[in-house]
Structures are given as structure tokens and as C-alpha cells.
């Protein structure tokens, strides 16, 4: 039955591709930031997927974490509901191998990447999300082995205000207030939200507060941006990190950044400075006094210069960062890194090419060089092929190095390295778009938490080599013209992954490296009902290498009036029992209803 259900939309897609109009879909207005400078989507030489505003509005979700699970190649593994604790990985990498950014500024937690999605932004403040799949270290530096998630926030140029109230099962509530105010050369946007739940099983209750504020000042060709955000989460962590049912955690994340764009003698200078603090209080058993307390600070700065010439766009710059941790379990440590980078973009007729590098100097590692090159060629106005090669790296986290307890860190861990290859194509029509990619990643010294089948303690290890290979395809189809407006859009994405190397599941238990998705299929359908009601469906099929299989259906019904949106959402519509981590059952069917009032003036 599942195969037949998937086959029908494929037939519709084929039918439409044969009879769609010949007009070429113009992508020139879509600007992405997958490199050191922004470029038109039609000129990119990498695999980039964009979550657009209409995708966010149609998604039956209440959190960024849940939104990202609808992107093929992206693996969101959750330990609880509503994104209270979630890990993100791309193309079979571990959660430590994914770089997360807000407006191009890195959000990396040196304690553990379990905290990388402690995001001080809410759904209402997001303009779009850009996902760069494949290595990003040659462009953005460390931790971008699997790819890069760049969250672009709204500019706040208009004058607007919005309030949203959502309620649901298990005592769920979500209240959000946001607004923008632009005047003259200044724009402002803020968002404040609070949500919580009684929990869907014992000790899974949570409470979360999010606040963010962004302001920009534009003066002729110069621009100054300021962003401040705060995220506070308290949650029951039943079984999250080991078998104990009474685990509890409280995280508080503060983030401040200042960036600018200044032109001088035809050179654009882009300075950035930022600070991120994460406080983590963890109780293995809330009925006892023992607790782990961790406090991390990251101070970063960057200066980039870019100019245009007859050879294309040239970029060069430098970066400095220092992270500090004070921990009751991991101890007190600090480390710094220095880096220089460069990038050259070349456009010649129908060919685009980018050559870049990042050279980094870590304490106890020394200078390392990480190059990357990519190229694209437009075979026709609606078909484009591309290929890329690059090296990537990351340092072990403080948890991997020094943790003591149910797991044991390894202070002798070496940094990870990888060599990455990809080739693919885009096909773009007015009503139909498609893409296909083949990729491979050769990893060296990959870090995993594992143990021999006869051992009772998890240890952090360097795995000598891993080879990750696979392919990915995505289709998007506008069906309004052939369905009398009833069926509006269909999207289908599929990713296949295989990981091989110097380890085997027969004699080694792996927490992360050998727990990837082998098959991932995501399908979205948007259709119209009576009285201008819009319904959206999201279907996900996930098949892990461990043998776990999930087929989940989410849906949303939305009606828009003059200033008001009314919606009903259902996640896990058919009440399937499923899990992302062994032993941690995730929520069954969950119903939500809400209203959003917004005004522009």
C-alpha cells in the first residue's frame, strides 16, 4: 500500500513535466549565502536547499527542529518533544559534524553539539533557512564536515505586529509576540515566546522561553547589524542520556553579535564580533542532590574583505576565536584558534567556478590547510550540472575529551578530517524543478562514542577511516494548472546513504557513527479545501542502518482571513510508536489548534 501511495504522485509529476509550459523559471531573484559572498541561486556551484517562507507557513510544526526534519539529507534525532533536545546531522555525519549559523555567524558549543540547537530565535523571526550539503570547512572553517545550516532572520523593514496563541494535547501551550518597525535608515525586529507541556510520558514536561532582537542601520552603502537572543529551557529528560527515568536538565543560552558592511575604495569590508554563553545544569536523578554544572563562553571575531575585478570576485580575511569552559565534571579548560581564508569566484559565459581555502592554527595542532573547489556549467537555460571537491575538519568537544561518569572521555583524541566529493545537476522549469546528486566522504579519525559488545562503559574513540557514499534527489511540482487549483504543490525528496570503514557492527556498538539513516523519503502535498481552506501534508519514511523503520504523517489545516490565521495541526497522525534513540519513545498523535493575528501599517 505504501508503494502505491508513493507511485501515484510520481505519475502526476511525470505527466506534468511532459505538459508543463516551456517558460524558464527565473531564479535570479533568489540570493543565497553558501559562499563567502552572496550570489544568485542560478549561479551556485554547490548543493543548496532552501526552506522558504511559504514552506514555514505550511509546515505542521511549532519548532525549528521539527521544521528541519522535512529536508532530505537532514537527520534530526530527538530525545523529547518540541525540540527540547535534538541533534542535527547531514548526510550521515554525526551531530558534531554539522555547522549551525544565524545570519552567517557560527553557533557552535564547545562542550557538546547537543546544545547547538539551543537557538535564540523562534519560527516567527525566520525569513528562510539555507542548507549547504557537503563540506563547508574550506569556506566557513571547522565543524562543517557534513554541511552547514544557515538561519536567515527577518530584516524588519516594515511596520508590523503579530501575536500567536497555540494550545494542544498533553497540556501544551505556546504564546508568541513579534513585531517589526522600520523608519528611515533603521529597521528593527523582535520576537518573544513561551511554551510548555505537561509531557507525553513520565518526566517529559518542559518549559521554554525565547527572546530575540535584531536591528540594522543603513547609511548609503554601509550597514551595521546588531542581534541579541536568549533561550531558556527546563525539561524532564527521562532516559535521554542513559536508562535513568529521573534525569532533568536546564539550559540557558545567550547570544550577541555585531556585524557590518563597509565599502572603501571599491573594497567591501565585513567585520563581525560575537559572544555566546551556554549554561547547562544536569541532574542524573532529580530526587538526589548530585548535579553537573557546565558554563561555556565563546568569543569570536572575523574580518573579511571582498572586491570585484575582471577575474571575478576575490575574498580574503582572518578569524580569531577563543572558547572557555568551567565544569564540575569536565574541569576548567580554554583553547583558541586563528585562521585565514580566501575565495575566488569566476564567471565565464555559462561556467561558474569557486576556489577557496581555510588555513587554521589550533593549540596543540598547528597550522592545517583546508582547500575546496567547485564548478557549475549551464547546459541549457533550464539545466545545470555541478561538481565539487573539498577537505573538512573539526576538533573534539570538551565532553569527548574529558567526560567522567557513565561514559569516559579520551584526552588523547585526534581532530577529525575528511575529503569530500560531489557531482549533480539541477533542472528548473516554471512548474517543475528537480535535482540529483552523487556524493562521497572519506573520513579519517572520525570520533564516535562506542564500546565492544562485551564492555559496559562507552568510550570516545578515533575511528581510523570511514567512507560515506550515497545519492539524493528532489522534485518540486506546481500542480494548480492541471488540478483546477485543488492540488497546489507536491514535493518529493529521497536520500540513500551507506557507511563503510574500519569498524563493524558485529563486534562494535556505536552511538552515532553507525546510527545513520540508510533510506530517507520525504513527501509534501499542499491542497485546497472548500471556503479557501488550505491543507498541507508531510509524510516521512525513515529506515536506519540499525533496522528501525518509521513512517510518519503530519498535517495542517489553515484558513486566512483579513488579519487572522486559524490553524489546526496534527503530528504523528496515525499514532505510530517510534523512536530516534534506542529506548526513548517519542510522542504519539498530538493535536494542536491556534490563532495568529497580524497587522501591517
Asked whether the predicted pLDDT for residue 590 surpasses 90, the reply is yes
Q: Give the phi and the psi of residue 115 in degrees, each rounded to 5.
A: -95, 0
pLDDT at position 500 = 84
pLDDT at position 253 = 97
Evaluate whether 528 touches 560 at the Cβ level (below 8 Å).
Answer: no
pLDDT at position 137 = 92
* Dihedral sign, Cα of residue 579, residue 467, residue 133, residue 539: negative
Residue range 119-137: mean pLDDT, rounded: 92
pLDDT at position 452 = 79
Rg of the chain (C-alpha set) = 23
| % of the chain beyond a pLDDT of 90 | 73
pLDDT at position 27 = 44
Residue range 75-92: mean pLDDT, rounded: 94
pLDDT at position 15 = 36
Instruction: Kindly state the helix (H) or strand (E) to which residue 599 belongs, with its residue range.
Output: strand 590-600
Asked whether the predicted pLDDT for residue 14 surpasses 70, the reply is no
pLDDT single digits (tens) 256-284: 999 999 999 899 999 999 999 999 999 99
Residue range 42-51: mean pLDDT, rounded: 87
| % of the chain beyond a pLDDT of 70 | 94
pLDDT at position 181 = 92
pLDDT at position 30 = 66
Asked whether the predicted pLDDT for residue 510 surpasses 90, the reply is no
Residue range 217-232: mean pLDDT, rounded: 93
Asked whether the predicted pLDDT for residue 223 surpasses 60, the reply is yes
pLDDT at position 242 = 86
Residue extents of the structural domains in the chain: 2-600
Q: Which of 488 and 365 is assigned the larger pLDDT?
A: 488
Please give the model's pTM, rounded to 2 decimal places. Answer: 0.92
pLDDT at position 504 = 63
Region of 16 (left: φ > 0; alpha: ψ -120 to 50; beta: rest) is alpha
pLDDT at position 29 = 55
Asked whether the predicted pLDDT for residue 503 surpasses 60, the reply is yes
pLDDT at position 8 = 37
- The DSSP symbol for 519 reads E
Asked whether the predicted pLDDT for residue 11 surpasses 80, the reply is no
pLDDT at position 25 = 37
Q: Which CATH class is domain 2-600?
A: mainly beta
**Strand ranges in 79-185 using DSSP code E only, listed in sequence order:** 86-90, 98-102, 105-106, 126-133, 147-153, 160-168, 172-183
Range with the poorest average pLDDT among 104-113, 460-469, 500-509, 518-527: 500-509
pLDDT single digits (tens) 285-304: 999 989 999 999 999 999 99
Asked whether the predicted pLDDT for residue 111 surpasses 90, the reply is yes
pLDDT at position 96 = 95
Q: Give the phi and the psi of residue 58 in degrees, each rounded to 5.
A: -85, -15
Q: Which of 417 and 506 is assigned the larger pLDDT?
A: 417
**Average pLDDT of the chain?**
90
Residue range 220-233: mean pLDDT, rounded: 94
The strands making up 105-106's β-sheet, listed across from edge to edge, are 47-51, 126-133, 147-153, 98-102, 105-106
pLDDT at position 155 = 85
pLDDT at position 533 = 95
**Mapping DSSP to helix (H, G, I), strand (E, B) and coil, where does residue 289 land?**
coil
pLDDT at position 479 = 86
pLDDT single digits (tens) 366-391: 899 999 999 999 999 889 999 999 99
Asked whether the predicted pLDDT for residue 21 surpasses 50, the reply is no
Closest by CA to 343, choosing from 364, 368, 322, 317, is 317
Q: How far apart are CA 75 and CA 146, in angstroms?
A: 11
pLDDT at position 7 = 39
Asked whether the predicted pLDDT for residue 157 surpasses 90, the reply is no
Q: Which of 31 and 321 is assigned the larger pLDDT?
A: 321
Q: How far apart are CA 384 and CA 401, in angstroms?
A: 44
Instruction: Kindly state the helix (H) or strand (E) to which residue 5 belongs, with its residue range.
Output: helix 2-19
Range with the poorest average pLDDT among 328-342, 468-482, 494-508: 494-508
pLDDT at position 506 = 66
pLDDT at position 482 = 77
Amino acid at each position: 500500500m505504501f508503494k502505491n501511495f508513493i507511485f501515484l504522485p510520481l505519475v502526476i509529476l511525470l505527466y506534468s513535466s511532459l505538459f508543463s509550459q516551456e517558460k524558464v523559471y527565473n531564479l535570479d531573484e533568489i540570493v543565497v549565502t553558501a559562499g563567502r559572498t552572496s550570489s544568485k541561486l542560478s549561479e551556485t556551484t554547490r548543493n543548496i536547499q532552501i526552506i522558504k517562507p511559504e514552506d514555514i507557513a505550511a509546515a505542521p510544526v511549532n519548532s525549528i527542529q521539527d521544521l528541519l526534519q522535512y529536508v532530505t539529507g537532514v537527520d534530526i534525532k530527538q530525545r523529547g518533544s518540541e525540540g527540547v533536545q535534538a541533534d542535527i546531522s547531514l548526510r550521515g555525519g554525526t551531530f558534531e559534524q554539522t555547522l549551525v549559523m544565524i545570519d552567517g555567524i557560527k553557533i557552535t558549543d564547545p562542550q557538546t553539539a547537543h546544545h547547538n540547537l539551543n537557538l535564540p530565535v523562534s519560527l516567527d523571526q525566520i525569513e528562510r533557512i539555507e542548507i549547504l550539503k557537503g563540506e563547508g570547512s574550506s569556506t566557513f572553517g571547522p565543524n562543517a564536515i557534513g554541511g552547514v545550516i544557515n538561519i536567515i532572520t527577518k530584516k524588519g523593514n516594515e511596520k508590523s505586529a503579530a501575536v500567536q496563541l497555540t494550545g494542544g494535547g498533553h497540556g501544551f501551550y505556546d504564546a508568541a509576540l513579534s513585531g517589526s518597525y522600520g523608519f528611515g535608515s533603521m529597521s528593527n525586529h523582535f520576537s518573544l515566546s513561551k511554551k510548555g507541556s505537561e509531557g507525553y510520558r513520565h518526566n517529559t514536561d518542559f518549559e521554554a522561553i525565547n527572546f530575540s532582537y535584531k536591528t540594522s542601520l543603513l547609511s548609503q552603502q554601509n550597514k551595521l547589524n546588531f542581534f541579541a537572543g536568549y533561550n531558556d529551557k527546563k525539561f524532564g529528560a527521562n532516559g535521554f542520556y542513559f536508562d535513568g527515568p529521573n534525569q532533568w536538565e536546564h539550559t540557558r543560552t545567550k547570544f550577541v553579535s555585531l556585524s557590518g558592511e563597509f565599502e572603501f575604495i571599491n573594497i567591501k569590508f565585513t567585520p563581525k564580533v560575537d559572544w555566546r554563553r551556554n549554561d547547562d545544569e544536569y541532574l542524573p536523578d532529580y530526587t538526589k542532590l548530585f548535579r553537573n554544572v557546565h558554563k561555556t563562553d565563546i568569543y569570536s571575531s572575523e574580518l573579511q574583505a571582498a572586491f570585484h575585478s575582471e577575474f571575478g570576485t576575490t575574498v580574503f580575511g582572518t578569524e580569531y576565536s577563543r572558547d572557555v569552559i568551567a565544569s564540575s565534571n569536565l574541569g576548567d579548560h580554554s583553547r583558541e584558534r586563528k585562521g585565514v581564508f580566501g575565495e575566488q569566484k569566476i564567471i565565464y559565459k555559462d561556467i561558474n567556478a569557486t576556489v577557496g581555502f581555510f588555513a587554521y592554527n589550533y593549540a596543540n595542532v598547528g597550522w592545517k590547510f583546508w582547500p575546496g573547489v567547485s564548478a557549475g556549467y549551464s547546459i541549457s537555460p533550464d539545466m545545470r550540472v555541478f561538481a565539487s571537491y573539498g577537505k573538512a575538519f573539526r576538533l573534539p568537544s570538551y565532553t569527548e575529551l574529558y567526560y567522567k561518569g557513565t561514559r569516559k572521555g579520551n584526552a588523547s583524541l585526534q581532530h577529525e578530517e575528511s575529503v569530500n566529493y560531489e557531482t549533480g545537476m539541477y533542472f528548473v522549469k516554471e512548474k517543475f524543478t528537480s535535482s540529483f546528486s552523487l556524493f562521497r566522504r572519506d573520513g579519517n579519525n572520525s570520533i564516535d562514542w562506542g564500546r565492544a559488545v562485551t564492555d559496559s562503559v562507552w568510550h570516545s574513540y578515533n575511528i581510523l577511516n570511514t567512507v560515506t557514499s550515497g545519492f539524493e534527489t528532489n522534485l518540486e511540482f506546481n500542480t494548480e494548472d492541471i488540478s483546477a487549483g485543488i492540488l497546489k504543490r507536491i514535493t518529493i525528496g529521497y536520500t540513500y546513504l551507506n557507511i563503510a570503514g574500519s569498524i563493524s557492527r558485529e563486534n562494535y556498538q556505536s552511538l552515532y557513527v553507525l546510527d545513520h539513516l540508510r533510506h530517507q523519503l520525504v513527501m509534501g502535498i499542499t491542497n485546497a479545501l472548500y471556503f479557501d481552506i488550505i491543507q498541507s501534508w508531510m509524510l516521512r519514511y525513515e529506515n536506519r542502518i540499525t533496522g528501525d523503520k518509521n513512517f510518519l504523517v503530519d498535517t495542517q489545516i489553515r484558513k486566512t482571513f483579513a488579519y487572522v490565521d486559524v490553524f489546526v495541526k496534527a503530528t504523528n497522525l496515525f499514532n505510530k510508536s517510534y523512536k530516534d534513540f534506542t529506548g526513548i519513545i517519542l510522542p504519539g498523535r498530538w493535536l494542536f489548534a491556534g490563532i495568529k493575528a497580524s497587522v501591517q501599517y
